[in-house]
Structure 1
Amino acid sequence: MRTWLAFLLFFGLGLAQYDLVVYGATPQGVTAAVAAAQEGLKVLLLEPGRGVGGVLTQGWLATLDLAKDKEGLLQRGLFLDFYRRIGEEASFDVKRAEEALLAMLREAGVELRLEAPLDRVEVDGGTVVALATPGGLFQAPYFVDATDTAELAFRAGAGFTLGREDTGLDRRSMAATLVFRLEGVPWGAVFLALNYEGQVRRTGAGAWGRSGWGFGELVRGYVPSDPSRYALRGLNLSRQDDGNLLVNALLLFGVEGADPLSLKRKRVEAALEAERVVAYLREKDPLLFGTAHLAGVAPKYPVVAQATTGYLKGSLGLSEPVLLGDFLANLEHYYRAKGPEERLRVVLKARELFREELQKPLKRLTLNQLLQALGEGRLSGADPVTRGEAALLLYRLLP
């Protein structure tokens, strides 16, 4: 052991002993801690911030991606417990969600310590044996890093990649989002407008329960203060218990790394951009947003998958048609990063030849022509090619 650890032991300060220490009270950290405690382990959950729930409660990502079939919700276990506690809806109130997570920790007997940033990590033979925070020194046979930035793993010397570096392309990260809160918006009018847009105009917009998604045409005219740093997509809305709306729509580019000072500065700057967005909405649609006011921005801005519409369908959609463009994009991304070069050329040529068909369902005949060009066997079946078939096929084509 290192000198500082031996020093503490010598003077009787000792170590707090646990079966498992989880660092990071993110959703995955909470469920790991609860699951272990339910199996009879003595568990400590350490969180460097002031609350539990990570992106759900601190990043205000208040809409869940649910998967259902004819028999109901596919997600089970602790997620189902959490889902029931927050009201069994896709969108939820963030305060209620944090209360639910705290109750789950309390009922399982997990010891929780907030505002416990990591000071030091003790590693012996490549294994973490202890860590220290301002509140104490903790030892356990097992440690779990559940932070979004993998801070514990990094401090312990684990290898890592940045952004999409693992693909062989570059270290760029996907866009982050800053969720902001709107007050003074008439939810009933928004609900009707979104469903009219989706059901009558067939734009893919819609609203159900606490959730709303759409207004793509409305936001298309927004000009960011700096287009290289910000973009506005269709609004994803989550109605809160107090009637306010959480809006997931403002994309932030160039949010790289995990330097706290840099992230804090960019969050302040992005909050000013959110003010511009609200002013734009008030001007362009005064009936819906004329009384809207910015009531705050999320304490954190998470990096999330940027889907514009459709993610509230409640289905994996494996039986739905796959678009030719989506199928080719997956192949291109892999072959561009990993090769072989010959296969990449086939995919790029297919994109050129079938450019008028990219946004249409992939036909079986087109797929088999592509497979033959790649040196693969034909795929039998009827039109159209489904997303489930495409997923299995991609697994075969991406060794």
Structure 2
Amino acid sequence: MNIMTVADPEPKGAPVTTCFVIAPIGNEHAPDGSPELLAFEENLEIYEKVILPACARHGIVPVRADGIADSGEITEQICRHVLQDDIVIADVTGGNANVAYELGIRHLTGKPIIHIGEHGQLPFDLSQIRTIMFNRSRSGLVKARRDLEGALDGALHNGFEPLTPARILFGLPAVAPLPAVVEAEPDDPDAPGLFDRFARVEEQMEAMTETSEAIAGFMTVIGEAAVQVGPVMERASQPGAPMSAWLPAMTELGKAMAEPASGLREACTRFAGQMVEMDAAAQTAFDVIAAMPPEQRTGSPTGFLEQMISIAESTHEVVGVLGEVEVCMRWVAKMSRELRAPGRDISAAAKQVSAAMTRIADWERRARALI
């Protein structure tokens, strides 16, 4: 993709605002139907329908990594853009590793950075940073473009509050946390009503259910891997067997657990991000129901409350089993270096879900109080 000018040229001598776009680029030359080509198409859509027109409104020329025309080492050029450009826009959808790496560099500079992300695909590690959320629909992309236009206007004219890493690095005082998701103002005529909130929560529940099933599936595979290596472990534990007899078992177990442990960590990260996103809609629904007279809470409001209690109960079970697996892996990982990588993944997965339980426990408390 060539670097594109999307606005009339600046008057000669006028300063040009530079803008770099961090995003999971994908591969436009990948085979049809491949994840790499799908990633390229999805992110190109956000770039062309949201980022380009929003920047054009302010006379900004955004540049992506695949639009750098200069010769030289691409990694160095990307780093220079991340460190030096006036503004960075980051599409954090899906928690791409390269995006996270470049974000970490930018966060240390204290310069303006605007996060955008697709509903249901927000990485938990970034969920506490104010993010423009979008649905991949025509109206959703239009709203995201308008939100991004407003964020760019604020960054250009109202200054930018450095994020925590930069504040610590520069010795700046802490500030009150910003809300994680851009929500409609209460007096916005397009603000969703109660049933809109219910529908949104139900949609997010479906996504969370799929993620929960994925988590359970990975945990099952991990358990089966341990069972399959059981005979090797039994031989190694026979009286008189040398300690070295454990090494093949540990190597085999580590290989068998590597992929499902990595998948478990990814699924738990996605689950925690979905929890953060869903919390805004759920809490608003709770507030509306709380303002209703008890006799008016029958029907959909009661059904909503029962669903929230059901989610809490099922999640408690998942967390309990995951916690047991994590404790076991923490001990086993000390026995062999072959198990340290899957052990770290499982431990990180447990922490992600445990952190999300704070929100789930609050949902259950509010739902039981209102039902």
TM-score bucket (shorter structure): under 0.3
Q: TM-score, normalised by structure 1?
A: 0.22
Choose between structure 1 and 2: higher helix proportion: 2
Q: TM-score, normalised by structure 2?
A: 0.23
